[in-house]
Amino acid sequence: MTRLLLCVTLALLAVAPVAAQDAEPSFCVSAWFRSSEQPEGYDSLMSAADVVDIVHPMWYAPADDGHVLAVNDSEDAARLAAWREAGMLVIPSVFSTISLAIDTPEARAVHVAELAAIAERMDYDGLDLDYEEFQARAREPFAAFVEELAVALHANGRLLSVTVQAKTREPGNDPGSASQDWPRITAAADYINIMTYDYTGRNSDPGPISPAGWVVDVLSYAESVTDLSDVHFGMPFYAYSWQRGTPPARTTTWASIQPWIETFNVEVTRLPESGEGFIDYKPPGLPRQVVVFNDAESVRARMEAVLAAHPGVGGVSIWGVGGEDPAVWDVLSELRPAACNTASRSS
């Protein structure tokens, strides 16, 4: 299926939910890649090229006047070629917090025009918007921005995904999620990525990063506003380590934790809410460490819980590639209920 045909099909499904129920099943695995924070992420993506369908390199950001800034080793020709050769869709993320680029029609017009031009110049399969932590007052201008960009991208057969903060009701559980009008966003975008992680964040006391029951509840709300086949739920591969058990936590990886476990014979237990690994230990001569981490076992538990409750969900979006448990890819490959229908480039 070409990108243009896919966009037309998705647009028709948005106004014909009965037809969407009869669509061919699809389950896509997408992953964000930020080279500055995840130096090993590229190798992880390429090692899992038979599993990953969509890559979201975090390459762009808005200036307050609507112009677009290139960041984080953007437009890397070698990586682009490798991802495309592997059959992945390349849908770069435009990342921002508290930007003024969407506040006025004039700034939005500049922003939309530049983003659409970048997608054409680079022949991207689409763009992903990852606009987080905005104030609730951004709800109307952000929805308008999504709608305007969707029109511009779809006119040239490009896709639009929107990354949204998790919530279980409208307008939202906090200002950031309240700034995102899910009914309008889902009507305009081709799919959304829901950040169903950081339930316990860096500045909280130790706890589960992504409890399965919470993910199920967030998807239940998503199902009330859109077809779940257009929804990818967030899957964390990362870990948090709290020194002396107090915040702020440090982001770390499964690979960084394993030598400690093996060297000090640390007991690993499991958090019942998430299946995530939990260790609380005092290394000789060092402060006490409390760690919550994701691995193949926690990914399996989360996938099984979500698919049991919401078998029609459209896929997963991974944060934290690089240093992950290699077995997580086997779990995703084993449990995904269908291939990704989105993952095909036009000739």
Instruction: List, in order, residues 6 or more apart from 289 with CB less than 8 Å away.
Output: 241, 242, 243, 260, 279, 280, 281, 282, 283
Q: What is the pLDDT of residue 97?
A: 87
Residue 22 is predicted with a pLDDT of: 57
SS3 labels along 160-214? EEEEEECCCCCCCCCHHHHCCCHHHHHHHCCEEEEECCCCCCCCCCCCCCCCHHH
Q: Which residue has the tokens 């006490």?
A: 288
Q: Which tokens go with 88?
A: 């992945």
Q: State how far the Cα of 227 lies from the Cα of 306, in Å rounded to an integer.
A: 15
Which CATH number fits the domain that encloses residue 165? 3.20.20.80
Q: Is residue 91 part of a domain?
A: yes
Give the per-residue pLDDT at 221: 97
Whether 284 maps to a domain, the answer reads: no
Is the preceding omega at residue 171 within 30 degrees of 0, hence cis? Answer: yes
- Decide if 88 is inside a domain: yes
Whole domain around residue 323: which residue ranges?
3-237+295-335
The tokens describing 35, both together, are 């080279």
What the block records as the tokens of 123 is 């022949």
**Residue 10 placed within a domain:** yes
Q: pLDDT tens track of the chain, all 347 residues? A: 344 334 434 443 343 333 344 568 999 999 999 987 778 999 999 999 999 999 999 999 999 999 999 987 899 999 999 999 999 999 999 999 877 889 899 999 999 999 999 999 999 999 999 999 888 899 999 999 999 999 999 999 999 999 999 999 999 988 889 999 999 999 999 999 999 999 999 999 999 999 999 999 999 999 999 999 999 999 999 999 999 999 999 999 999 999 989 988 899 999 999 999 999 998 888 899 999 999 999 999 999 999 999 999 999 999 999 999 999 999 999 999 999 997 543 32
pLDDT of residue 191: 97
266 alpha carbon, distance to own chain's centre: 32
Residue 264 is predicted with a pLDDT of 87
How far is 257 from 265, CA to CA, in rounded Å?
12
Helix, strand or coil for residue 251? strand
The C-alpha atoms of residue 229 and residue 231 are separated, in whole angstroms, by 6
Q: Phi/psi of residue 7, each to 5°?
A: -65, -40
pLDDT of res. 251? 96
Q: The whole model's pTM is what?
A: 0.91
Does the residue 267 lie in any domain?
no
Residue type, 164: V
The domain total for the chain is 1
Residue 288 lies in a domain: no
| DSSP H or E stretch at residue 157 | none
Indicate whether 254 belongs to any domain: no
Round to whole Å and give the CA distance between 173 and 217: 13
Neighbour-count burial for 207-237, b at 16+ CB within 10 Å, e otherwise: bbbbbbebbbbbbeebeebbbbbbbbbbbbb
279 in a domain, yes or no? Answer: no
Report the DSSP pairing between strands 89-90 and 126-132.
Answer: unpaired
Contact (Cβ atoms closer than 8 angstroms) between residue 197 and residue 209: yes
